[in-house]
Chains A and B, each alone.
Chain A
Amino acid sequence: MRDKLKIAVVKMTGCAGCQMEFLRLEEEFMDLLEKVDIEYFVMAKRENHPGPYDLVFIEGSVSTPRELEELRELRRRSEILVAFGDCACTGCIPSILNWVPPIVSSRVYEDFTAIHSRKESFQRIIPLAEFVEVDVHLRGCPPHKDTILEVLKAGLLGVKPWLRLHPVCVECKLKENGCLLTSEHRPCMGPVTAAGCGAICPSVGRICEGCYGPMSDANPESLARVFMEECGLSKDEVVRKFRKYAGAARAFLKVAGGG
């Protein structure tokens, strides 16, 4: 067990939503400062230290050579590397770009090459684990703040964090929601999505869109069949659903790839 944890919060290609969820620990923040030294967090601090760190939260995916270099350096300087949120774990929404032909993306900047020479972009969204060993995959867009606390606690105790990999359906049943998929034939992603959010969407009358990425041993092909046969979705619609938060994840690749 450690007395105090030296941590860093780093942003790569993400939206800052995961960092915002970290700062949503409003009630716990004062106590947190007793147990955690925030050594690096550019969004919150002017004095930032280069490490080494006990634990680093990396928000965002890798999409530039500069980020790749930084990621490798962070791996060397950190004991526990946390892929913080879907962008880091699976590429999240921006990974839809990976399926878009470059000609379409070049329309966004009329003279792409002018900037390209200075600030290169891979024009692809790549999860961290493609490049370095990741110790903890903290899923969600964003991960619920309780799961952030769980990772911090586990880091202090020197144990593996307990993160749920069963489907959202389990949490949904615990909330005693009626099932939107079986009784209303709406295309809910709950059966293949990792739990952790507390089944937020079905609890407010909306189907799960899969924002925690694939659960362990998900069976996306079977759910895809249900979507087509029982919910009346076309093949394109099914592909779009899987090519959303985790199209770049191996578990979903078969359906997300359109194959």
Chain B
Amino acid sequence: MSTRTRPRAHPDDDTTTYREALREGLREALASDDRVFLMGEDVGRYGGCFGVSLGLLEEFGPDRVRDTPLSESAFVGAGIGAALAGMRPVVEIMTVNFSLLALDQILNNAATLRHMSGGQLGVPLVIRMTTGAGRQLAAQHSHSLEGWYAHIPGLRVLAPATIDDARHVLSAALDDPDPVLLFEHGSLYNAAGTLDPAVQQVDLDRAAVRREGTDVTVVAYGGCVSKALEAAEELAGEGISAEVVDLRTLRPLDDATFVGSVRRTHRAVVVDEGWRSGSLSAEIESRICEQAFFELDAPVERVCSAEVPIPYARRLEEAALPQPAGIAAAARRVVS
């Protein structure tokens, strides 16, 4: 279905926001498959906590755009049950922080049922949630815990970073026979751009090279990709050519793309909005060292969130998060 057949929020300038792109993906999924329904806190009358599902209740009705009580465990578990019965539920949780109330259902049931049942029961469920900081929402609305979920066998973990990915990620996620977790960075919803009509699907098995470069590989995902690109732009002005790899899928990791990039550039910086200790960045650095140690011209650098619950005050919040300046500084260190 072409997005161009739909009315746009910005008809004059042909731009789309990340939020609208996600909504268009949801609308397409609901329209094309009767098994799909959306369920979560305030997805219906409210229009979604972040406005993603605005208008879908009116279009598809309360059975298929279903408001739930504030019962994360029950409605995520109900999504799992409905998926077991052959439906294709899309469940929205307000933030990754709240998903911890459903962690038992996600880990002990969604991720595990296929194996425990000897392959009899798959759980084709999509769970969407926001992640990340940058909006002064303080600790209980700002954490980046997608790396925890990326630890769990049986799940696919996605972090769309671009408008094209936001537009097409859902149909790919719904095609997956297993539970897929979709992490939408809260600071991206208002990001605007033009959809590329040539892109009609996303390959969830592949990381994407967002900028080509020869001197250093910057590996990032989700809300940090734009920061990495900003840093690359700054570095370009200094004659340093940075390649930016967007992981796109956090589990399973596409080693071939980021290790392949490091083999060409011989240097790497890994950006992760999660905390450094036990993080996804540690896993990526480790895989680079395991697979391309003798290709490296410098130790791998990591840029992560400070080891602190994310604070409210703007100056402190900014200091806690990976920023373009910090990414550029790390890149300078590895190329020097």
Q: Do A and B come from one complex?
A: no
What residues of chain B have their CB less than 8 Å away from a CB belonging to chain A?
none
What residues of chain A have their CB less than 8 Å away from a CB belonging to chain B?
none
